[in-house]
Amino acid sequence: MTDRVRVLSSHLIDQIAAGEVVERPASVVKELVENAMDAGAGKVFCRVEEGGRSLIEVSDDGEGMSRADVMLATCRHATSKISSVEDLSHIVSLGFRGEALSSIAAVSRMRIVTKRREDDSATRLEIEGGQRGDPLDAGAPVGTEVRVADLFYNTPARQKFLRRPATEISHIQTWMARLGLAGANVHLRLQHGKRTLLDAPASEDFAQRVAAIVGREVFDHLHQVEFADDGSTVSGLISDPMHSRPNTRGMYVYVNGRFVRDRMLQNAVMIGYQTVLPPGRYPLAVLHVQVDPGVVDVNVHPQKTEVRFSEPNRIHRVVKTAVAELLARAPWLSGSRTYVLDGGGPGLSAQPRTESGERVREAMTRFYARPSATGARGSFGGSRTPPAAIAADAPDVADAPKQTPLPLSQWHLVGTLWHTYLLLSSPGELVLVDQHAAAERIVFERLRASVLAGKVAIQGMLVPVQIELDGAAMACFEAHGDSLRQLGFEIAAFGEQTINVTGVPALLSKAPVSELVRDALEQLAESGEASSWEEARLEVISRMACHAAIRAGQTLSETEIRALLTQLEGVDFSGTCPHGRPVMVPWAKAEVERWFHRS
């Protein structure tokens, strides 16, 4: 009998390693561009043919390599980024595993030309299917050019899984965007054949980089996030709730400058949006999370897009609070943008707000029912203000003349549309307010605040209400009865299939009791097991608020309308109802004039 266990050949080991690192042409682009950025490049240009199947060429003006270094760099697990086990706990570079070049070379025809500033000539090295040739002298500028041809030519099984060029180039574009949004200090360019698909020059202004990559139309709906707490910071841009997407492809999250796919961080962003986005919609977000390198492990997967945190709950809290604090101010309603077009030139400039953010911070502490961090402050903040009265000819720039915001309750009431929408005007703006969505947000915020404070006012029933439940609903009540009591219900079992309600939250006293309780139980059944009580509670409260709010089609007097608008001014997150629908839609006078071709 022959032995069955054997040591794999170096060639086969390289093929296996390549399968982990090189998934498709976009993987090659990612690894080569990251290497260029680690080398201190100011310019990184990428050219591909046939979606990267026939050619990928990445050139940079970084520090280059010596002849000895380029020979070592193409060996497995050879790297300049780390030298000891201890270094793995403080990774600050994009690459560090020493797998990329050797893995790519194993499944392609590769040529590397590189030169350091102090060398008289460049070094040229060709590798075919992992077999290296002899290094040669060459003429080239300082930096490195890596040419990868005929990807997977020697692994037909891998090659047949590649998609058509249009699909592969879309994946390459995605990765170039991810790398471009990691920072703004490197000029990135992507060319496919004769077409330039991305050209993002280096800039001192991160906003200019974001606009170059996501486009001006999208950029106009982004708002600045700046938050610091407990030794971590969150900065970047997030979209207003009216500009969402049906998937998470527009969410770019970075940890210490590295793009990551992390469900925990995505979940933190989504909880921040929890009561302002409809189900199934996702924001556009470019968020940079800076943490101590010692609390994050980036050595989780060869593609380096997964991370683990030693304190995931703390990081989760910081990210969701950063997002929700911005959304609480609803800057898209007040026009208080923090990144605006600079009227003096083509660039974009950051204009941080300077108002105090203490009220928002306190609101968020109550929102998440967590103790506030001592001395933790974001770098900018501010209370939400209603849409300001803006002159028709006021320029949309940071140094525009400051206007005193006119409280929404003092706007001129033009009338109501279909007994549902309140039409208001000021000297320079027009706004429609959905009366049901506005009332729903008011009731939701008041009820949430009272629940979190443990001081829910209860309205006793003159006549107790008995509600008969089916088996599933009764089981849910038995499991979550205490949760309903925390929300302000006086409720108890009354036989095997019936519950007895003797009190309800005072804010909901005009709502139909049976529908209120059934909806609350249904929501608890849907989210109570899958979510934390913190998350499920908000969903239940939002459903209950809908029952108690002023209805669409309900006729209101002017006094009632003014009271509603006054109450709306006093709550956070007033831009949407708790389910994510807009509360109001404003139009500037100039926009209305464009409708009638007056501008």
The fold of 10-200 is Heat Shock Protein 90 (3.30.565)
Pick from 182-186, 275-279, 294-298, 385-389 the range whose average pLDDT is largest: 182-186
Q: Is the pLDDT of residue 340 over 70?
A: no
Q: Tell me the average pLDDT across 351-365.
A: 37
At 427, the pLDDT band (50, 70, 90 cuts) reads: confident
The pLDDT tens digits for 249-269 are 889 999 998 899 888 999 999
The position carrying tokens 């899984």 is 161
Q: Is the pLDDT of residue 421 over 70?
A: yes
What was the pLDDT predicted at 92? 47
What was the pLDDT predicted at 6? 59
In the chain, which segments carry CATH 3.30.230.10?
208-368
What was the pLDDT predicted at 323? 95
Q: Tell me the average pLDDT across 46-60.
A: 96
At 1, the pLDDT band (50, 70, 90 cuts) reads: low
In the chain, which segments carry CATH 3.30.1370.100?
439-548
At 518, the pLDDT band (50, 70, 90 cuts) reads: confident
The position carrying tokens 């003092």 is 410
C-alpha 267/C-alpha 264 separation (Å) is 5
Q: Tell me the average pLDDT across 468-493.
A: 87
What was the pLDDT predicted at 301? 60
What was the pLDDT predicted at 280? 80
The pLDDT tens digits for 443-457 are 999 999 999 899 999
Q: Is the pLDDT of residue 400 over 60?
A: no
**At 264, is the secondary structure helix, strand, or coil?**
helix
Q: Tell me the average pLDDT across 210-222.
A: 86
Rg (CA), the chain: 29
The pLDDT tens digits for 127-176 are 999 899 999 999 999 999 999 999 999 988 888 888 888 889 988 998 99
Q: Is the pLDDT of residue 13 over 70?
A: no
Query: What percentage of the chain has pLDDT greater than the value 90?
Result: 43
What was the pLDDT predicted at 583? 92
At 347, the pLDDT band (50, 70, 90 cuts) reads: very low
At 299, the pLDDT band (50, 70, 90 cuts) reads: low
At 83, the pLDDT band (50, 70, 90 cuts) reads: very low
Of the listed ranges 152-156, 202-206, 370-374, 486-490, the one predicted with least confidence = 370-374
C-alpha 151/C-alpha 27 separation (Å) is 11
Q: Tell me the average pLDDT across 25-41.
A: 93
For the chain, what is the mean pLDDT?
80
pTM over 0.85, yes/no: no
Tokens of residue 331, six digits: 């800057």
Q: Is the pLDDT of residue 351 over 70?
A: no
What was the pLDDT predicted at 163? 86
C-alpha 236/C-alpha 30 separation (Å) is 22
Question: What contacts 24+ positions apart, CB below 8 Å, involve 344-353?
Answer: 347/203, 347/205, 347/208, 348/205, 348/207, 348/208, 348/211, 348/219, 349/205, 349/207, 349/398, 350/205, 350/206, 350/207, 350/224, 351/398, 352/224, 352/226, 352/379, 352/380, 353/380, 353/381, 353/382
Q: Is the pLDDT of residue 503 over 90?
A: yes
At 294, the pLDDT band (50, 70, 90 cuts) reads: confident
- 208-368 has CATH 3.30.230.10 classification: yes
Q: Tell me the average pLDDT across 458-473.
A: 87
**Which residue in 31, 12, 364, 355 sits closest to 172, CA to CA?**
31
At 395, the pLDDT band (50, 70, 90 cuts) reads: very low
C-alpha 39/C-alpha 61 separation (Å) is 9
At 222, the pLDDT band (50, 70, 90 cuts) reads: very high
What was the pLDDT predicted at 298? 74
Query: What percentage of the chain has pLDDT greater than the value 70?
Result: 78
In the chain, which segments carry CATH 3.30.565.10?
10-200
The fold of 439-548 is Ribosomal Protein S8; Chain: A, domain 1 (3.30.1370)
